[in-house]
Each structure stands twice: as structure tokens, then as C-alpha cells.
Amino acid sequence: MLRYIFLRGCLAILVAFTVSLAAFLLLNVASDPAQAIAGEDATADVVETIRARYGLDRPLTVRYFDWLGGVLQGDFGESYYWHKPVAALVADRLDETLTLALSALAVTIVIAIPLGALAALNPNSWIDRFALGVAVSAQAVPNFWLGLIMIIVFAVMIPIFPVSGDSTWRHFVLPAFVLGSSSVPAVMRLTRTGLIEVMGADYIRTARSKGFRGWQLLRRHALRNAILPVISVLAVQLGQKFGGSVITESIFAINGLGRLALESILGADIPTVQMLIFVFAIVFVAMNLLADILNAAIDPRIRIG
């Protein structure tokens, strides 16, 4: 197990460095950081001053290995845009993204698992069709559209939540719903399929013959087995929410890592983009690893390593 975790940790770091190198090259090819910082109407002398100030006039290889050397010593460099150490910048924004990601995951769980369970207990009924309808709708609706509609309905027409910001728990309700709803289809369908399969198993028939029915049967016998693949998916979804909240954070003006990623890419703030990609890649691999470990912990038949 420990060896497995160690190998997956090494893989995460390798992935992070590879992706950050790709991001570094792509950003430098696709944009001119000095021009992006200076703005559209900046005069040539201003652009050149910025280029010299941030060392952007040095060759690409020198800049990349300079960054890499810093990273190996724990220094991710200074943001071109925010004029502060990138690590401090990311740390400042971490709270908001974690809050949003965990709230969104809670929304997913609260909606998807009961809905999936209800659909599985009543296959081919109107409840099942309703659940399927919810899943299809949630999958079809893009986040930015749902975000704007939620703002119009619950912040403008019926002003019970603020439009944007991140200073109170109320600010997170709408974005958590928007971000969480995108994972509902996958989790709901997996719960439904897993439960339908489990409900046909011999041990469930035995449990029924012992008098277990409804919620009791579900909780004590069926759900524990059906939930295994759901846990894996939830862990992966948490990783995706952590790095994939770019649109939601921008629409709701939440100062988290997603918004920072978008601003950094648009502003060609290469050190920040590189660290964010580094962090996102590691979180993603870590969440996959967590899913494996949780599966092994819940199901003694699974062995990893």
C-alpha cells in the first residue's frame, strides 16, 4: 500500500511538471506576456520596460530552468500581474475554492444519491423518469447559463441571495448549486445502476425474507455495496471541482483559484499559471488515489499495491 501511494505521488509530481512545461511553452507561443500586462494601447517603450522588468527578454530555456530551479527550492516565483509570491497568492485563494468545491460536492451528494436511490427503488416509474429528466437537464445546461439564470431568479427577481462575492455563506449558495449540479447526472446514474444491480442479488432477497424493507434495507444492505463506484466518482468529481470552477468563480466573482487561473491565463501571468497547473494536477492525482484507498477500505475484496 505505502509503495503504491509513493509511486502514485511520484506520478503526480511527474504529471505536474510535464503539464507545467506544456503550459509554459503554450503561453509563451500564444501570447506576449509583456504586451498582456501593458494592455492594448501601451506604447512600445512601456512594453519594453515591462519585458525588461520581468526578465521576459531572456531566452525561453533560461526562463524555464530558472523557474524550475526555484521550484526545487520551494520558490514558485513572483506573479507578473499581482506583484507578490505566487505561493502566497495561491494560499490566499485556497479557502474560497475549497469552500466552493466542498459545498458543491455536498450539493451533488444531497441531490444525486437520494434521487438515484429513489429511481432504483422505483424502476421505470414516474419517479425514475423524473430522476432521468433531472440528470439529462443538468448535463445539458452549461454552468455559465445556469449561473446567470440562478442570479436573475434568486438574486434579482427574488433577492434572497447576493449576486456575487464571497464574504458570507450566503454568497456560496448559488455557486455551489451551479457547480454541484454539473456532477449530479454521473453520480445519480451510477447510484441508480449500482442499486438496481444490488437489489437483484441473493443476499438482498435473503434480507427481504428476514423482513427488511425500504430505507432500512437500503441503508443496512444495499447501499454499502452499491456506493463503491459512487465514492470513486465523487473523489474524482471533487478534484474536478477544485480545478474546474473557473467559470463559476468568474460569474459569481469568487476570489478563488479558478478565477485566478482565468485571470492569469488572460494576462499571460506565466508563473501563476504554472503553479496553478502544478497544484491542480497534484490534487487531481491525489483525489484518484484517495478513491482507490477508500474503495479498498470499504470493500475488503479490493487490494491495491
Partner 1 sequence: MLKKAVQRLAAGTLAVVPLLAGIAHADKADDTLRVAFTEDIINLDYHYTTKREYIIISELVDETLLAINPANGSYLPALATAWEQLDPVTMDLTLRDDVTFHDGTAMTADDVAYTYNTISTQASQTLSGGRIAVWFDRAEALEPQKVRFHFKTQYPLALQDMAIRVPIRKQGTYEAGGSFDPNAASGGPVGLGPYRVTSFESGSELVLERYDGYYAGGPKGDPAIGTVVIRSLPDEGTQQAELMSGSIDWINGVPRDVAESLGKMPNVKHLSGPDRRIGFLILDAGGLVDPEGPLTNLKVRRAMAHAIDRAGIASALIGGAAARIEGACHPSELGCNQEVTIYDHDPEKARALLAEAGFAEGFETEIWSYRDKPMSEAIVSDLKAVGIKVNLRQVKLDSLNVARANRQIPAYFGTWGGDTAPPIRQHFDPETDRNLSGDAELSAMVTEAYAELDPDRQGELFAKIHARITDQVYWIPLWSYSVNYLTDPELVFPLDDDGFPRLYKASWTQ
Q: Where does the chain have alpha helices with state H?
A: 2-30, 33-38, 44-53, 60-72, 86-121, 126-140, 143-151, 170-181, 184-199, 202-209, 214-217, 223-243, 246-251, 257-266, 270-298
Is residue 46 close enough to count as binding partner 1 by CB under 8 A?
yes
Among 144, 169, 203, 215, binds partner 1 (CB under 8 A): 144
Kindly tell me which of 53 and 220 has the beta carbon lying closer to partner 1: 53
Is residue 72 close enough to count as binding partner 1 by CB under 8 A?
no
- Shortest Å, Cβ 50 to partner 1: 7
Kindly tell me which of 269 and 292 has the beta carbon lying closer to partner 1: 269
Is residue 50 close enough to count as binding partner 1 by CB under 8 A?
yes
Other C-beta atoms within 10 Å of 279: how many?
A: 21
Of 234, 235, 241, 198, nearest in space to 218 by CA: 198
Is residue 35 close enough to count as binding partner 1 by CB under 8 A?
yes
Q: What region, left, alpha or beta, does residue 253 occupy, with left being phi > 0 and alpha being psi -120 to 50 degrees?
A: left
Sole window of 46-54, 100-108, 193-201, 221-229 interacting with partner 1 (rule: CB under 8 A): 46-54
Among 2, 72, 140, 156, binds partner 1 (CB under 8 A): 156
Is residue 87 close enough to count as binding partner 1 by CB under 8 A?
no
What's the first-to-final CA gap in the chain, in angstroms? 5
Size of the site for partner 1 (CB under 8 A): 44
Site residues for partner 1 per CB under 8 A: 30-32, 35-36, 38-46, 48-50, 52-53, 81-83, 142, 144-145, 148-149, 151-152, 155-157, 159, 162-164, 250-253, 255, 259, 262-263
